[in-house]
Amino acid sequence: MSVIVTPAEFTLVAYDAERIREIVADVAQRLGLPGDLAITFAVDERTPLARARLVSVDPPVLEIEGGALEEPRHPRHLNENSTVVTAARLLGRVRDRRDPAFAAGGDPPAEEDLTLPQADAWDAYALGRAARLGFEVQQPRWRYRFRTRHGFSDSVDRVFDRLWAAEGLTWTDLEAACAETGAVPA
Kind of pairing, strands 60-65 and 52-57?
antiparallel
Taking the alpha carbons at both ends of the chain, their separation in whole angstroms is 40
- The residues with which 160 forms a beta bridge, in sequence order, are none
Any idea of the CA torsion for 102, 108, 114, 117, to the nearest 10 degrees? -50
Q: 90 with 130: CB under 8 angstroms? A: no
pTM of the model: 0.95
Q: 58 with 99: CB under 8 angstroms? A: no
Report pLDDT for 99: 95
Mean pLDDT of 145-160: 97
- DSSP-derived secondary structure letter, 110: P
CA distances from 173 to 11, 73, 119, 120, 145 (A): 43, 38, 13, 14, 19
Q: How confident is the model at residue 185 (pLDDT cuts 50, 70, 90)?
A: low
pLDDT one-digit tens code per residue, 61-108:
999 999 999 999 999 999 999 999 999 999 999 999 999 999 987 899
**176 Cβ neighbours under 8 A, 6+ residues apart:** none
pLDDT one-digit tens code per residue, 123-149:
999 999 999 999 999 999 999 999 999
d(CA 57, CA 159): 27
pLDDT one-digit tens code per residue, 8-64:
999 999 999 999 999 999 999 999 999 999 999 999 999 999 999 999 999 999 999
**15 Cβ neighbours under 8 A, 6+ residues apart:** 43, 45, 66, 69, 77, 78
Pure H helices in 116-170? 116-132, 139-150, 154-165
- DSSP-derived secondary structure letter, 186: -
**Phi (first) and psi of residue 102, to 5 degrees:** -65, -35
